[in-house]
A = this chain, B = another copy of it.
């Protein structure tokens, strides 16, 4: 069962997200900026978090988790794999900020920053009902292949990685601002979804 967050905690989470949306670099965010945006006193933040890194790491984690859950719920309504993937890609297009947040989390998971360290720690001790992007992909994949003949663990890992890689890179392309026209994006989505389906069938 998920724990509840106090209003102050939520205010911090929201503030970090908003600052990020405004283009701030998560690594150079200051406590003052965060608490001002959150509308609370500087000291108050320290009653709920042990230090700045914890504020940012938990904020990222909280927001991503929330986002992944809503993605999963929406995606579940789609019938087949192609549509599910398309749903994810479309959602990411529509909620570009959240998508950027997701990319950022993923990147921080493998840098050497102290905030990255914290995020890894959070990931380590996360409960099974908290959902991160990778878990999302894994779930869809399991649903899809459950009817099929036994597939080796190795291949499942590969498929998960491959799907995740494509989605992540599409997100990064979106983030770069390259795909301006709707048609271009639609074409690319199609190619990706088809590529994913073909790859799963191929094995």
A residues near B (Cβ < 8 Å) are 20, 23-28, 103-104, 107, 110-114, 116, 154-155, 157-158, 161-162, 164-166, 168-170, 172-173, 175-176, 184, 187-188, 191-192, 195, 198-199, 202
Contact = CB atoms under 8 A, between A and B. Distances in A.
Contacts of A20: 112
Given A162-B166, A166-B165, A169-B161, A28 B113 contact: yes
A127 to B, nearest CB: 21
A177 to B, nearest CB: 10
Nearest to A188: B158
Given A107-B107, A192-B158, A25 B112 contact: yes
A103 B112 contact: no
A187 to B, nearest CB: 5
Q: Count chain B CB atoms within 10 A of each CB in A111, A157, A164, A165 and give the residue with the most.
A: A165
A174 to B, nearest CB: 10
Contacts of A23: 112
Contacts of A112: 20, 23-26
A95 to B, nearest CB: 17
A181 to B, nearest CB: 11
A158 B185 CA distance: 11
16 contacts: A23-B112, A25-B113, A25-B114, A25-B116, A26-B111, A27-B111, A103-B110, A107-B110, A107-B111, A154-B191, A155-B191, A158-B192, A158-B195, A161-B170, A195-B202, A198-B202
A103 B172 CA distance: 13
Contacts of A176: 110
Q: Count chain B CB atoms within 10 A of each CB in A27, A166, A184 and give the residue with the most.
A: A27
A178 to B, nearest CB: 9
Contacts of A26: 111-112
